[in-house]
Structure 1
């Protein structure tokens, strides 16, 4: 159980202002490419215009951090945004625009809770097997979906197929859990690391290695049961680690021991994530040189508090 999980595929950081987020992440030492913005007519025969959400990826070999913002009613795009025209047959346009509006509603509702981390997607080599396993375990989900997403390569933007699945919780909108959006994605051969650009980062980051979820103490047993059905066995306690998915769950009473000074805006909540770096001393020098506040975790690791990173604490861990 859980043998079909290979760590994190990506986490999604939802922000109010994409320009601010790109600037902040660059000060943190990440390479951030220009965001992509879908452009399509909202009605058949109408003018093509920005619609939905704008996003960009902080790439690592094998996974990434996604920055996401909603395009407002004016259709204003971030200054660096690259329009991605979506060509859709007229008879398919209403269904696509409805799906995009549903995504916008979800992202907006997350942002109303707080600006920060709301999306955690695990990597799997067998998405159909995951779907069958979850169904057998009585876990609600929306089935496997196929999409096209822009991938930056050495020869330019390429639209690659991707397959994903989202967990659904009774009483919440489709694709929602109390803590946000949880799911699985299957990499395609086209997503080989050598095809991705921007995997070199001034802070020396080499990979996304963990996300941290904080829950109220009384809710911990139920969440452990639920995540055990998603990801397999865990190492328990007030800090529970689902190693196959690289997800750490911490009871609210234990958060100060893990991330001193952090106070979640809501519970349950993804309060941060961890990236590995080549040289932690060099990373710290870069952050301090950019006037980024840093602190130490309970284990003595370097982290940037959520207040300085748009609502999500970022832990930096020495690679290897």
Structure 2
């Protein structure tokens, strides 16, 4: 793969209660807008029903942290009253295929949530998603090809659809791993980037792997990225035995597992004060960076790094 895949596009925090997760992330100092949930008529002539997954983002200039929860068809229980229901327009002849694909994706989310609540998605960013797909194929990395989905975005001129082009890599037991086209600058003005904690960017995902399998996972991720993994981000690999050396007190819920992510902030002292004010427990990594432990953050430790 070309060396242009140098950073993260987003990580996905899969939660059982998205309202609770939004409250947590707001206490952590992030601006989190109301979640969106798609709605689709299960058959021609029927009323649209919520289904699939509800999600929202803490957006940064080139990346984001996603909060996502599976939604049972027609069931809005557990969704906050501020949730936005987004009806999808699908031609009748395409309805069965679309329903089956979204149902399969929702079932995968439930399976990940059954495994543990926490981070289950890590996606890297590329300015050339088609080139990335070709390079992965040439390197023998299996993937599902480039897909395009539309993300509804509220703009001053009404709701517009932002095209999102991505691919998913095959055979990743740690969760959903893939590559996404860089965020479209045309839609950047719609994102809320002014976070109370001064967050600037998502810079690292921490992946904990079984003892003895570190070389295997390192080789895989170096093929994904097309280069050696740098010392700091976009992904840090370590074994379960070594995890306490980076994150004291952390115990992985399963292996392999995405156990933490790191967000760069403008002023680390400001973050420490905000976390203390909001009553959140804080520990320090062995690098001297504050982090909120997974037991207080719905299964995923959150590390703060001064930009």
With normalisation by structure 1, the TM-score equals 0.91
Residue of structure 2 equivalent to 1:66 = 66
Deviation at 1:188, TM superposition (A): 5.2
Q: Does 1:256 align with 2:244?
A: yes
* Candidates 165, 182, 188, aligned match of 1:187: 182
Residue of structure 2 equivalent to 1:54 = 54
Task: State whether residues 130 and 146 of structure 2, in contact with CA within 8 Å, keep that contact through their aligned partners in structure 1.
Answer: yes
Deviation at 1:80, TM superposition (A): 1.3
Task: State whether residues 153 and 197 of structure 1, in contact with CA within 8 Å, keep that contact through their aligned partners in structure 2.
Answer: no
Residue of structure 1 equivalent to 2:265 = 277
Task: State whether residues 262 and 305 of structure 2, in contact with CA within 8 Å, keep that contact through their aligned partners in structure 1.
Answer: yes
Deviation at 1:43, TM superposition (A): 1.6
CA distance 1:58–1:152, change in 2 (3 Å): farther
CA distance 1:219–1:202, change in 2 (3 Å): same
Task: State whether residues 6 and 225 of structure 2, in contact with CA within 8 Å, keep that contact through their aligned partners in structure 1.
Answer: no
With normalisation by structure 2, the TM-score equals 0.95
Residue of structure 1 equivalent to 2:101 = 99
Task: State whether residues 6 and 125 of structure 1, in contact with CA within 8 Å, keep that contact through their aligned partners in structure 2.
Answer: no
Q: Unaligned regions of 5+ residues in structure 2, if any?
A: none
Deviation at 1:233, TM superposition (A): 2.7
**Hey, what's the Cα distance between the residues in 2 that align with 1:189 and 1:103?**
24
Q: Does 1:45 align with 2:45?
A: yes
**Hey, what's the Cα distance between the residues in 2 that align with 1:156 and 1:23?**
27
Residue of structure 1 equivalent to 2:138 = 136
* Candidates 202, 214, 223, aligned match of 1:229: 223
* SS state at 1:168 partner: coil
Task: State whether residues 15 and 111 of structure 1, in contact with CA within 8 Å, keep that contact through their aligned partners in structure 2.
Answer: yes
**Hey, what's the Cα distance between the residues in 1 that align with 2:121 and 2:150?**
19
CA distance 1:261–1:272, change in 2 (3 Å): same
Task: State whether residues 60 and 199 of structure 1, in contact with CA within 8 Å, keep that contact through their aligned partners in structure 2.
Answer: yes
Equivalent residues in 2 for 1:210-221 (5 A)?
Answer: 210-221=204-215
* Candidates 201, 208, 213, aligned match of 2:202: 208
Residue of structure 2 equivalent to 1:5 = 5
Deviation at 1:32, TM superposition (A): 0.3
* Candidates 109, 114, 117, aligned match of 1:115: 117
Moved over 6 A (4+): none
**Hey, what's the Cα distance between the residues in 2 that align with 1:152 and 1:65?**
19
Q: Unaligned regions of 5+ residues in structure 1, if any?
A: 170-176, 236-240
* SS state at 1:217 partner: coil
Equivalent residues in 2 for 1:163-202 (5 A)?
Answer: 163-169=165-171, 177-187=172-182, 189-191=184-186, 193=188, 195-202=189-196
